[in-house]
Chains A and B, each alone.
Chain A
Amino acid sequence: MGENWAFVAILTVIALTIPILGILAAMVLAPKRPGTIKNSTYECGLETVGDAWVQFKVQYYLYALIFVLFDVETVFLYPWAVAYQSLPLLALFEMIIFLLILGIGLVYAWRKGALEWI
């Protein structure tokens, strides 16, 4: 089993060289004529206004947070699904309870408007 990871490691090394080679080749081959205007940040042809940093909505964070919680839940679903056919019928109800508790969470988030994009 362990050798599979070694194969993946070899693929990673090869996969890393491709984009690096690409960037290096372009560095050597492509023309370089920098200029102040050309190298300025793109903002639809206007002078850039202020920082690139703008205040983000907390919404992005909320989505990511709910995502983490449900992702953890999904990970627990996988071993259950694999073992399901070798388990007694009780496993069905156990998982339905698990899903119901998390379903409450989803309904709560929904009702509280955490899933709204405002």
Chain B
Amino acid sequence: MMEMLAFGLVAGVAVGGAIGVVAARNVFVSALWLVLSFIGVAGIYAILGADFLAATQVLIYVGAISVLILFAVMLTHHVMGDERSNNRQAFLAFIVSSSVVAALGVLAYRTDWPIRPADAGGSVVTAMRGDLAGSSAASTAAQTGASTALTSTVDLALNQDSNVVRLGQALMTEHLLSFEIISLVLLVALIGAIVIARD
């Protein structure tokens, strides 16, 4: 009961933040709503017992990627004043984003989720995936390298019951290849970013 209540609260924060991103009239304020949405997602991880993932979500998404987005907004837009964030591409964007949501929904519904034997309901896990997808779709500006790296830890932490030791062991043994590839992905992202920013 308490768990459902807490879930409702953090899910509300995540979804409310996501709505705020779309509804805000100022891009900077949109980015702030995105931060709130990320915090909500961290709360969902916390409820699921994935402490490491919750802390990481705050550290990476809230503390790093959102700062990057804010910097990007401050560099490219007029800092104060309202401006409409939708333009002629709004309809096209609606079609694309709703088909992404539909595809993810179908995927989430059809997948056979590993459910912890105790109390965590399947619906909670499914909803978590939905929120994760929603928030990452909203943050197209976020680093692709970083998101790939993080989604791969999602699977691990759920299977390993958030035990950091076992997470480390899994990274170093069965997921070693992906672990080393992550560093390559990060390197490519770094070089790409520097090349683009320099020219």
- Evaluate contact between A112 and B75: CB separation under 8 angstroms: no
The number of residue pairs between A and B whose CB atoms lie closer than 8 Å in the complex comes to 146
- Considering only CB atoms and an 8 Å cut-off, how many residues of chain B contact the other chain? 53
* Docked-complex contact A58 and B179, CB < 8 angstroms: no
Q: Is B60 an interface residue (CB 8 A)?
A: yes
Residue of A nearest to B149 (CB): A72
Nearest CB of B to A96, in Å:
11
Q: B78 — nearest CB in chain A belongs to which residue? A: A53
Mark B residues whose CB is within 8 Å of A.
Answer: 3, 6, 43, 46-47, 49, 51-52, 54, 56, 59-60, 63-65, 67-68, 71-72, 74-75, 78-80, 143, 145-146, 149-150, 164-169, 171-173, 176, 179-180, 182-184, 186-187, 189-191, 193-194, 197-198
Q: Residues of A at under 8 Å CB distance from B?
A: 1-2, 5-6, 9, 51-53, 56, 58, 60-62, 64-69, 71-73, 75-76, 78-84, 86-87, 90-91, 94, 97-98, 101-102, 104-105, 108-109, 112, 114
Cβ-closest 3 pairs across A and B: A83-B168, A79-B168, A53-B79
